[in-house]
Amino acid sequence: MIKKKYDESAIQTVDALTHIRMRSGMYIGRLGDGSHIDDGIYILLKEVIDNSVDEFIMKNGTKILVTFDANKSQLSIRDYGRGIPLGKVIECVSQINTGAKYNDDVFQFSVGLNGVGLKAVNALSSHFLVKSYREGRCFEAHFSKGRLLNQKEAKSNELNGTFVEFIPDPEVFKKYKFHEEFIRKRLWHYAYLNTGLTLFFNNEAIQSEHGLLDLLNAEVTEDRLYESVHYRGEHLEFAFLHTHSYGENYFSFVNGQYTSDGGTHLSAFREGLLKGVNDFAKKNFQGVDVREGIVGCVLIKVKDPIFESQTKNKLSNTDIRAGIVQETKEATQQLLYKNPETAKRILERIVFNEKLRKELSAVKKEAKEKQKKISFKIPKLRDCKFHFNEKSLYSEDTMIFLTEGESASASIVASRDPLKQAVFSLRGKPLNVYGMKMDQLYKNEEMYNLMSALNIEEDIANLRYNKVVLATDADVDGMHIRNLLITFFLTYFESLVLNGHLHILETPLFKVRNKEKTFYCFSDEEKEEAIRSLSKKGDKQGKTESKTRMTGIEITRFKGLGEISPNEFKQFIGPDIRLIPVTINSLSDIKPTLEFYMGKNTPQRKQFIMTNLVHEDEIAEST
């Protein structure tokens, strides 16, 4: 191999929009295909709406219209703010570091900070149209992939504001699809954080009267121990309640931005809550006892927020910590004094948590002693070199495959990337833990080993792998094991699922090939398409497709992961890996869903199975 010469000719300079297209992950995070709420196509929408919300925050316009055309994969956003100054429209949507967010007199507590958002949307869209309406005139510019196609200015009767329309570029976002429930959820977050603002999604009004209180009540409709506690100050707002569930769950925001990874404001809120409860009760409760089973929402307004990345998932400001801790502590004390019945319920829950923790300590000790006798290492774990909780170049790409049996894990172990892919092998079907207490986690050796492998016993923040991937066979038993594992995580480690760490591995169902070419098919439709493709290539004598369809074509049905060779498996867990994220629309959906599918056998579930049962003969006829 001839090495390329490294001299002045090897150095390249690209313009800003080209850089966005080449390194899009730097600007919008993950690309994805639209199957996850944080995929790039939704970040494009967010970047546009952030600007409209900033106008509302500055008391300019109380309405935002969002229209979605599923046939075109096109989104349009119309606000009624001040509109972009007509002479600067093109610069504001195409030149990096251009905008008014650097001027504190024009924008305060804004979400958009770096003058990048609209430029990224423009650069990553095959169609991008912007219109600005100001004082009876309109300026409009049409772009494609960041390049200006045309512009015009004319008179207008429209109210002041900005209109943006875009279609994500399929060259950047491969085979993407918008899911309306993800769009709707983002819009609801904007409404909860900006009382007085009304958003319309295809004419459906989305608005909130009580802010974070409405968010908490929407997420937790049942299983609450008391009514939500709510506080709203000038720069801090929070709400919380306790449920019967395990762990802690939070929705944290900064200036209207959802910070899925928390940050300074969330850790400060948790500390302030603990201090407020202890001061009120004149006790010295431990944080884990106060926060076990809590669901909380927190919003802060910061003039100069510092985020860890352009996607703004985690806040880094350290100077705000002391103020949030103090205000949260004082507000919590006042709320508990004003609501004695709620305070009583909270203290009862804390005492219960404390008692449970002490009872579990003996079981924990016994489980750990038992593990030490077996091995110093975690049984059935083939670890990788880098981990999610140890910041490195590969942290975000780390994953662990949970497989059933040695045959399935053998193929993955032989074909994985040992730098960032680990494998944990299960011995048959795991226990159905629905309705079981926390002590079962320590009494069941396999569940305990799985928890230890993930390193989440003390805190989800210690998770060793960014993605926990369920890799089960594509048959009834495999589906059952998948459901049992999802039940395990939703019962004991709910926040792991809510934070988007749990995924399902898609592997091919069929291999269709002839002497020249091989297709791996993930559905019956793909299998039929592969057969048609190979039949056409083999039909050289003018025969009809129906007669030649199966000539020289071999079809293999993969019944289990162990049937896929390591050489084949490598491509399915490599750069083109297909993962389906396990998502939760609302916290309130978890308990009834688990009760229906994983609880005691009920007439309703039996009827559901009988109604949806598909006989093998029907499957054969359809194929």
**pLDDT tens, 518-550?**
888 888 888 888 888 888 654 443 333 333 345
Mean pLDDT of 230-242: 93
Report how many helices (DSSP H) and strands (DSSP E) the chain contains, helices first.
22, 22
Percent of the chain at pLDDT > 90 equals 39
User: Per residue in 2-44, pLDDT tens?
Assistant: 556 666 666 666 677 777 887 777 777 778 888 888 888 998 9
Mean pLDDT of 435-460: 85
Could you tell me the pTM of the whole model? 0.76
User: Per residue in 545-572, pLDDT tens?
Assistant: 333 345 678 888 877 777 777 787 888 8
Q: Hey, what domains does the chain have and what are their CATH numbers?
A: 16-206 (3.30.565.10), 212-356 (3.30.230.10), 381-506+579-618 (3.40.50.670), 510-557 (no CATH)
Kindly give the pairing relationship between strand 294-300 and strand 249-254: parallel
> Which residues, at least 6 apart from 346, have a Cβ–Cβ distance to it below 8 Å?
225, 226, 242, 277, 336
Distance, in Å, from the CA atom of 436 to the CA atom of 429, rounded to the nearest integer, reads 17
Half-sphere exposure for 464 (CA within 13 Å, toward CB) = 22
**What residue has token string 């004419």?**
203
**DSSP, residue by residue, 453-512:** HHT-SS-GGG-S-SEEEEE--SSHHHHHHHHHHHHHHHHH-HHHHHTT-EEEE---SEEE
Length of the chain: 623
Mean pLDDT of 342-356: 91
Distance, in Å, from the CA atom of 67 to the CA atom of 163, rounded to the nearest integer, reads 11
